A and B are shown apart, each in its own frame.
Chain A
């Protein structure tokens, strides 16, 4: 029962986190394809996927040599930093402190940059092999892909759940690619901030759990303690967003008072 909770929460976490990264990569690849041609965009993407497969093969083997307690300590710490980074951003966005991530705006910005800012350039027939297009697609897929690998390793390596975590990530990438091809545009409808909120909570909970196990703590109710940690983080984040919204308004009032005094 507890083992299946762990496996499913790993798959769901890997799926949600990877879907955010896949949307970001696909937004850039679609922009490259539309402006500079699909052949170069696909070549850059395939080269990046090749590099990522090589990275997985190298690090996948190396992971087997590391003792589990060391892996729990290091991966738990990194996962906590990763999860808290996402959670902080999602909380600040929900509180209106920073702007929401806008895939449509990123898509338009990328198109503007690749077309040299002119609509005429956009209308030009794309070159067969375009180095700028290949490099742009390669860079985007490599950067986001490395994040997916880090997520899969962090979620799957410690308890031998690399395959479920990889399946979750693969399903997310395939789903995003199919949706992206069907829409032929940025996946602006994906509620990215809500996803980041959920993933931030999941990853931080896993990070706390594994770091605790790595330093020799035994959590009550074993793996089910992850659910408790998720609940604590969810309540704290909800409270944090409310307090942050008020703090922002209070900061404005203090600033306005200073201006009139």
Chain B
């Protein structure tokens, strides 16, 4: 069971590093797919949404991670001093 769990975790780890980014990308893909399937949006708009949504999700995630890393550096240094 332990080996199986580790194997599954390893396999999931190939695709998912940051859970929030993976979840956002899945939501983008599912939304565009559903909207295109029911014909609510045209194909050109679907392409634009697919590209902009995925790239936007990546950029927002990276910038947030960078911001919180900067904050953590200062808080960590302060904690070490006190």
Contact = CB atoms under 8 A, between A and B. Distances in A.
A251 interface: yes
Interface stretch (A40-48, A125-133, A166-174, A213-221): A213-221
Interface string B38-66: 00000100110011001101110111111
A233 B59 CA distance: 10
Interface residues of B, number: 42
A248 B58 contact: no
Interface residues of A, number: 51
A248 B17 contact: no
B25 A232 contact: no
Given A232-B55, A247-B67, A249-B70, A150 B14 contact: yes
25 contacts: A77-B29, A84-B25, A85-B16, A85-B17, A85-B22, A88-B62, A88-B65, A98-B69, A143-B10, A146-B10, A208-B54, A211-B33, A217-B43, A240-B58, A244-B66, A247-B63, A248-B69, A250-B67, A251-B67, A251-B69, A254-B70, A255-B71, A255-B72, A258-B74, A259-B78
Interface of B: 10-11, 14-18, 21-22, 25-26, 29, 32-33, 36-37, 43, 46-47, 50-51, 54-55, 57-59, 61-75, 78
